[in-house]
Structure 1
Amino acid sequence: MFNTALQRVTLSRFALDQWRQVSLLHRLLSPLRQWRQGSWLLQWGDAIGWVFLAIVFALAPYVSTALIGVLMVACAGLWLLLTVSDQAEGWLTPVHVVVTVYWGVMVLATALSPVKSAALVGLVKLTLNLLLFMLMARVLRRPNLRSALILVYLATAAIVSVYGIRQYYFGAEALATWSDPETNLSQSTRVYSYLGNPNLLAGYLMPAVGFSAAAFFVWPKWVPKGLAVVLWGISSVCLILTRSRGGWLGFVALSFVLMVLLVYWLNPLSTAFWRRWALPLLLGASAAVVVAAVLFVPSVQERVLTMFAGREDSSNNFRINVWESVVNMIRARPIIGIGPGNEAFNKVYPLFQKPNYTALSAYSIYLETAVEAGILGILSFAWLIGVSFYQSWVQINRLRQRLEPQGYWLMAAIAVQIGLLVQGAVDTIWYRPQVSTLWWLLMALIASYYVSLREKYRTDSLTDAA
């Protein structure tokens, strides 16, 4: 009974690939599909889409958000062109359906917003991110393009990490008050590389940590594996040097989940001893490293203790005051919120803020979602996360049966998602496209592994016959 209900909630029992057989829209677009058959350029549509996406991720840390927006518009246009002229086979997944529901809730929140023009700006930005997700989910279905796009991001993140580490050794001007001036850490360097904010940099580097760890298992031969270790090392070190407490928590959560998944994946290949003790030993050693860092590294110890200082830490006190004001905003419009985007937030927040506690966001993605779209927004967001995790678990088990190396990318995506969700509890960094595009990359990567019921049945039949 529970499994049946779970499959229904996660849309796993729906044959989504059959929608085109009864879709009027599919039949109306037939002339465009016939046109595409004679188009030499569109035969390379996925490869062209990969080039567009590679440009976005290669330039994201260095260019203005306006230019990133222009590139996202180009990606949206290409996705629309490819989709309306496509055979519509296999692209619709449960993740796509729930993403569309989430977008629909935000459209409703915009329509009912007390600041419609500001909310419309936020809706446009969200729509561009979702259309980017659509293009990525399409392109990433090809394993070679999937690995190549991850490589582009890792190469870019390596440059960002190296520059961040350089800031630690040569100094970097604090562009804002990022540490309590009354603590010993007030004069310490918090690196921010090209992104201008250490919390944002921590969020940007989290996928690099997960994907570089996965690359060690995916990339063949020892030279690429050595490169993966180097990439993991510099991205991890740079993330730690941001001194972002939310980033540190996300890093720990990411590492924990990835280790558990790797042990689960490799379990069939292990001896009886390692099947029983691998996970306890690995987690015990990791916990010992974390505890030792807290006990014997003064800067880490002091930074960690500020997490439990309550209002005695100025950063904590600021967030708590903002959160109290945000809760009042939610109470004022609990069902559908004020509409999406930071511009809508900036219009309404001053009506609820405490004196001297101005803020550009809610400093929590969960509170932010509740402010933007109320209960409906929180429910749709939770549904989206639940469906993505469930689909990930289903596909991991499918890939694990054949120990396909591409499964490591999927495990990394799940771990990074959890890391970003942990950091997001105390930071709102998703308004910046450098991180929001990575979040939707993770979601698209998960969707790209989806196997329809018909294809799964055909694959299982061939396996049984063999």
Structure 2
Amino acid sequence: MNLIWQKFTLSDLPLKEYLGTSYLHNFLVGLLRSWRQTSILMQWGEIISAALVSLVLLLAPFTVNNTAVLGILLLACGAFWLLLTLSDEVTSPNTLFVTPIHLLVLLFWGVSVVATALSPEKKAALAGLINFTLYLLLFALCARILTSPRIRSWLLILYLHMSLLVGVYGVRQKFFGAAQLATWVDPESPLSKNARVYSYLGNPNLLAGYLLPAVILSLVAVFAWRGWVQKSLAMTMVVVNLACFRFADSRGGFIGLAVGLVVLVLLLRYWYGEYLPRFWRMWLVPMLLGFFVAAFVVAFGFSETFRLRILSIFAGRGDSSNNFRINVWMAAIKMIQDYPVFGIGPGHDVFNKIYPFYQLPRYNALSAYSILLEVAVETGIIGLASFAWLLIVIFNTAWSELQRFRQSTSVDGLWLIGAITALAGMLGHGFVDTVWYRPAVNSIWWLLVGLVASYWTSSHQAQTQQVDSLRSEPAPN
């Protein structure tokens, strides 16, 4: 059974050996290496790559209404990744850096290409495919440069500081007021006068999607960062981001945070299990989960807005937002039934052209309001299956590397826990919303997937490292 699972998750696939004998790989990689040896610019290639990704993180929350700027940056990231790859030295450690995650990303992209070719609106689908490709190139660049501990630390710190800035402005909106740009709550509910913050992102649900990974990673930073100054900064980030997250009042965000916190508690218990006394090993998880439940009960009891917001999740069609989503979901299911194999093609442009034939009157929508439904609508059952396979490989790779880090007690294991938890939380949020497709959130998703991929070590390498570590241990007297 274990062998079948390893085959399914590509855990034992000899990627380095295969690429080392691949004619196409050997022809393309290093094609421009002679130029790179004389280029002053390319000697700073990794730093320039980090700067490009940094610009994406810096501008993502401020360009929600001008995505062309971010698109240019993503194109630059992709072009520079290609340039680095073509000019790599054959002996460079990055030359053969391909992981099982890369293969599944390539498969998912390939399915999207087929879906574009078969789309009833090919021009619109092509635009969606181009946008999707840019994010996958961002992933490829992140997976490459995040193998550097300094760049990895810099990009994580940068994102956490940007989220702190976004969170501070959102909290300020709560106390000093902010114009409501749209009807974010049911106009007939008792919360119709409740002001939801949106910070720089213009949408409270999008704000929650952007802050969710920040809440998780800042919690992890409390454990990972050394020194009380750094830990105090991490705690400040937790408090500010969590407060802004709460003021955004995103029900999908609450679901995602609940999923994330449960995963975080379980993984931290696994990470610190060997160092805990017997009592804490047995009771830490129940006590932490009990604390979260108690905090939820207190907030539920003392905050009427929070209580009504949570209860509206279970109101079914009694809440206008729920009713809207249910109607969109039903239309999306009909679209899947009519385009079951490869869908209608990727992107919201093609969705906007096909959806009106299925929508109920007055229920306009830009997406399916669920990642799973959106993937199935855009790329059919084949695309949904490849996306599910990609998720399984991502989490399996992360779990395998976490086990390795736990044996070496490397602090990187904590950041891997943060990545796993944040990805799980974003999926929980995305189950009932599609802010995952917005640039501010999608760029963070692929950054975290790139972080997981950057930690990957082949099973052969892991065995070699384990043997080397045993050989280096002093013999017993």
TM-score (norm 2): 0.95
Aligned residues of 1:251 and 1:419 also touching (Cα < 8 A) = yes
Aligned residues of 1:49 and 1:78 also touching (Cα < 8 A) = yes
The corresponding residue for 2:9 is: 10
The corresponding residue for 2:276 is: 270
The corresponding residue for 1:62 is: 62
Deviation of residue 38 (structure 1)? Answer: 3.9
The corresponding residue for 2:150 is: 144
Aligned residues of 2:20 and 2:96 also touching (Cα < 8 A) = no
Deviation of residue 263 (structure 1)? Answer: 1.3
The corresponding residue for 1:45 is: 45
The corresponding residue for 1:20 is: 19
Task: Give the number of equivalent residue pairs.
Answer: 465
SS at match of 2:391: helix
Structure 1: gaps of 5 or more residues: none
The corresponding residue for 1:220 is: 226
Structure 1 distance, partners of 2:268, 2:375, is 32
Deviation of residue 35 (structure 1)? Answer: 3.4
> 1:202-221 alignment to 2 at 5 Å?
202-221=208-227
Call closer, same or farther: CA 1:236–1:247 in 2, change over 3 Å: same
Aligned residues of 2:402 and 2:413 also touching (Cα < 8 A) = yes
Call closer, same or farther: CA 1:31–1:329 in 2, change over 3 Å: closer
Task: Output the amino acid matched with 1:45.
Answer: G
SS at match of 1:326: helix
Deviation of residue 240 (structure 1)? Answer: 1.0
The corresponding residue for 1:173 is: 179
Structure 1 distance, partners of 2:206, 2:123, is 27
Structure 2: gaps of 5 or more residues: none
Structure 1 distance, partners of 2:446, 2:202, is 22
Call closer, same or farther: CA 1:112–1:207 in 2, change over 3 Å: same
| 2:259 is aligned with 1:260 | no
Structure 1 distance, partners of 2:37, 2:361, is 63
SS at match of 1:293: helix
Deviation of residue 251 (structure 1)? Answer: 1.1
Structure 2 distance, partners of 1:194, 1:145, is 26
The corresponding residue for 2:371 is: 365
SS at match of 2:183: coil
> 1:39-438 alignment to 2 at 5 Å?
39-63=39-63, 64-86=66-88, 87=90, 88-438=94-444
Deviation of residue 271 (structure 1)? Answer: 1.3
Structure 2 distance, partners of 1:175, 1:90, is 49
Structure 2 distance, partners of 1:330, 1:126, is 20
Aligned residues of 2:186 and 2:319 also touching (Cα < 8 A) = yes
Deviation of residue 26 (structure 1)? Answer: 3.1
| Cα-to-partner distance string for 1:23-68 (whole Å, 9 max, x where unaligned) | 1123324442343334343233112100111111011111321100
Structure 2 distance, partners of 1:15, 1:456, is 13
SS at match of 1:362: coil
Aligned alpha-carbon RMSD (Å): 1.2
Deviation of residue 79 (structure 1)? Answer: 0.3
Aligned residues of 1:342 and 1:431 also touching (Cα < 8 A) = no
Structure 1 distance, partners of 2:323, 2:79, is 44
Structure 2 distance, partners of 1:94, 1:183, is 48
Aligned residues of 2:31 and 2:86 also touching (Cα < 8 A) = no
Aligned residues of 2:78 and 2:134 also touching (Cα < 8 A) = yes
Deviation of residue 213 (structure 1)? Answer: 1.2
Structure 2 distance, partners of 1:43, 1:452, is 28
Of all paired residues, the percent bearing the same amino acid is 49
Task: Output the amino acid matched with 1:21.
Answer: G
Structure 1 distance, partners of 2:47, 2:255, is 37
Task: Output the amino acid matched with 1:70.
Answer: I
Structure 1 distance, partners of 2:189, 2:26, is 66
Structure 1 distance, partners of 2:240, 2:96, is 38
Structure 1 distance, partners of 2:258, 2:346, is 30
| Cα-to-partner distance string for 1:186-207 (whole Å, 9 max, x where unaligned) | 1111000000000000000011
Structure 2 distance, partners of 1:351, 1:319, is 17
Structure 1 distance, partners of 2:317, 2:289, is 32
Structure 2 distance, partners of 1:168, 1:445, is 34
Deviation of residue 108 (structure 1)? Answer: 0.4
Moved more, 76-85 or 448-457: 448-457
Structure 1 distance, partners of 2:124, 2:25, is 35
Moved more, 31-40 or 439-448: 31-40
SS at match of 2:440: helix
| Cα-to-partner distance string for 1:236-272 (whole Å, 9 max, x where unaligned) | 1111110000001111111111111111101111112
| Cα-to-partner distance string for 1:399-448 (whole Å, 9 max, x where unaligned) | 01111111111101111111111111111112311111011111111101
SS at match of 2:411: coil
| Cα-to-partner distance string for 1:335-358 (whole Å, 9 max, x where unaligned) | 110000000100000011111111
Moved more, 289-298 or 204-213: 289-298
Task: Output the amino acid matched with 1:99.
Answer: V
Call closer, same or farther: CA 1:18–1:39 in 2, change over 3 Å: farther
SS at match of 1:89: coil
Aligned residues of 1:17 and 1:89 also touching (Cα < 8 A) = no
Structure 2 distance, partners of 1:206, 1:90, is 33
Moved more, 109-118 or 417-426: 417-426
Structure 2 distance, partners of 1:460, 1:90, is 21
SS at match of 2:32: helix
Structure 1 distance, partners of 2:220, 2:127, is 37
Deviation of residue 214 (structure 1)? Answer: 1.4
